[in-house]
């Protein structure tokens, strides 16, 4: 079946360093992927998305990379700030056009 | 400001009671969704509605019911048939259709069964 998973449940990064959050997906036919950020006690917020016809997409301080060969997705956050502390979710669009969510990675920023 | 309002933020329920969670949006979105979130897990889709007066079951619809009588509103009822209802419930919306995927979420409702 379709599933989305994450390599690490918790990532600890020094403030100012770059963060890389990884995500694996299982359906090679998935054509759309998305990243959300969820702060404690709040709803998820959209960060960035990417379609399968792209390998890379950049936003403000964030970059998403898609490697379709190994079915791997990553979110890079440049110059990590305290406000980046959150749980980050990747999701892929399933066969019924609904999103299939990973379990999330908690990003901890060390001062 | 446009957005999604969920209420109540916290809710306690005794076993055997039905509870209804409210979700209202003023984004003029056609589609609305309910997700359940458990600790350490991703979001799981309960129900979704692409248009008024129509809705579809998601992956974990058993023990839940919804209605979509107005475009702005998509209430979720957690029935006594739901065996493990304690969770964080998230409502979301978007423009719907196969091409629109970015969801806007509410702040969530945390339900605890005593």
pLDDT in tens, A16-75: 999 999 999 988 889 999 999 999 889 999 999 999 999 999 999 999 999 999 999 999
Interface of A with B in 35-94 (CB under 8 A): 41-46, 49, 89, 91, 93
**Pairs across A and B, CB distance < 8 A:** 51
| pLDDT of A22 | 94
CA gap B107, A40 in Å, rounded: 10
Q: Is B105 on the interface with A (CB under 8 A)?
A: yes
CA angle centred on A26, ends A93 and B83, rounded to 5°: 70
Contact B105 A44 (CB under 8 A): yes
Asked whether the predicted pLDDT for residue B28 surpasses 60, the reply is yes
Collapse the DSSP code of A28 into the 3-class scheme (helix H, G, I; strand E, B; otherwise coil) and give the result.
coil
| Nearest residue in A to B6, CA atom | A43
Q: In this predicted model, what pLDDT tens digit does every residue of B34-81 receive, in sequence order? A: 999 998 788 999 999 999 999 999 999 999 999 999 999 999 999 988
Report residue A13: phi and psi, to 5°: -135, 140
Q: Is A98 on the interface with B (CB under 8 A)?
A: yes
The residues pairing with A101 across neighbouring beta strands, listed in sequence order, are: A91
Asked whether the predicted pLDDT for residue B88 surpasses 60, the reply is yes
Sheet containing strand B64-66, strands side by side? B4-7, B19-25, B76-78, B64-66
Contact A99 B103 (CB under 8 A): yes
User: Which chain A residues have a beta carbon less than 8 Å from that of B23?
Assistant: none
- Nearest Cα to Cα of residue A59 among A92, A35, A81: A35
User: Which chain B residues have a beta carbon less than 8 Å from that of A4?
Assistant: 42
**Rounded CA Rg of chain A:** 13
**Rounded CA Rg of chain B:** 13
Q: What share of residues in chain A are helix, strand, coil (percent, to 5)?
A: 5, 55, 45
């Amino acid at each position: 079946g379709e599933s989305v998973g994450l390599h690490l449940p918790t990532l600890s990064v020094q403030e100012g360093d770059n963060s890389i959050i990884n995500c694996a997906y299982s359906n090679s036919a998935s054509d759309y992927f998305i990243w959300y950020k969820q702060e404690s006690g709040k709803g998820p917020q959209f960060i960035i998305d990417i379609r399968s016809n792209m390998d890379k997409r950049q936003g403000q301080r964030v970059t998403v990379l898609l490697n379709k060969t190994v079915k791997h997705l990553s979110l890079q956050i440049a110059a990590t700030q305290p406000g980046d502390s959150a749980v980050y979710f990747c999701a892929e669009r399933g066969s019924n056009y609904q999103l299939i969510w990973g379990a999330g990675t908690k990003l901890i920023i060390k001062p | 400001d446009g957005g999604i309002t969920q209420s109540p933020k916290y809710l306690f329920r005794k076993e055997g009671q039905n509870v209804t969670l409210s979700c209202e949006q003023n984004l003029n979105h056609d589609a609305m969704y309910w997700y359940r979130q458990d600790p350490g897990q991703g979001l799981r889709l309960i129900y979704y509605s692409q248009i008024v007066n129509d809705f579809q079951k998601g992956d974990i619809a058993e023990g839940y019911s919804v209605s979509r009588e107005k475009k702005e509103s998509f209430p979720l009822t957690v029935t006594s048939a739901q065996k493990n209802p304690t969770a964080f419930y998230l409502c979301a919306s978007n423009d719907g259709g196969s091409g629109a995927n970015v969801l806007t979420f509410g702040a969530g409702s945390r339900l605890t069964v005593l």
